[in-house]
Amino acid sequence: MPFGYSKKIFKYPPVQYIPLDQYHKITGETPNPHSRTKLYVFNQFEKKDLERKIAYLRLEKNYTIKEGQLVVLIINGKADLLQYRGHEISIVGQPTTGHYQLFTITTQYFYKDRLIFIFYDGEDSEKIDWFNYNRL
């Protein structure tokens, strides 16, 4: 069990994955706790889209996206572990109804232009949501 999770999530040896840290993490309650778990990813050129999502969450903070960073937003979920390999960023956590998590990751390790962010439930290894991202 790589990283303590199922081989359905991590199919390759742990040494083949690059761990990604979460920076500037903000968590809170969502205004619509009955919607499904949703994953979003934003770059510095998508600041307006991020601001709309932050307004929906009723956050008054200005969340900055710098060059070389991506902002990840999970609504009705919480991420515990992020690992990168090839085209895939595996995010392992759990659905958490009524809560959101917002954080920044670095892009310095990404060597592919097309990336797929996949949010897995760490308990049953099921894919909860995914986000297709193309680097500019």
Give the domain range for residue 75.
18-134
> Which pTM value belongs to this model?
0.93
Q: Tell me how many domains the chain contains.
A: 1
Banded model confidence at residue 4, pLDDT cuts 50, 70, 90: confident
The reply to whether 76 falls in a domain is yes
Residue 12 lies in a domain: no
Does 5 map to a domain?
no
The tens digit of pLDDT for each residue in 61-104 reads: 778 889 999 999 999 999 999 999 999 999 999 999 999 999 99
Phi-psi region of 71 (alpha: psi -120 to 50; beta: other; left: phi over 0): beta
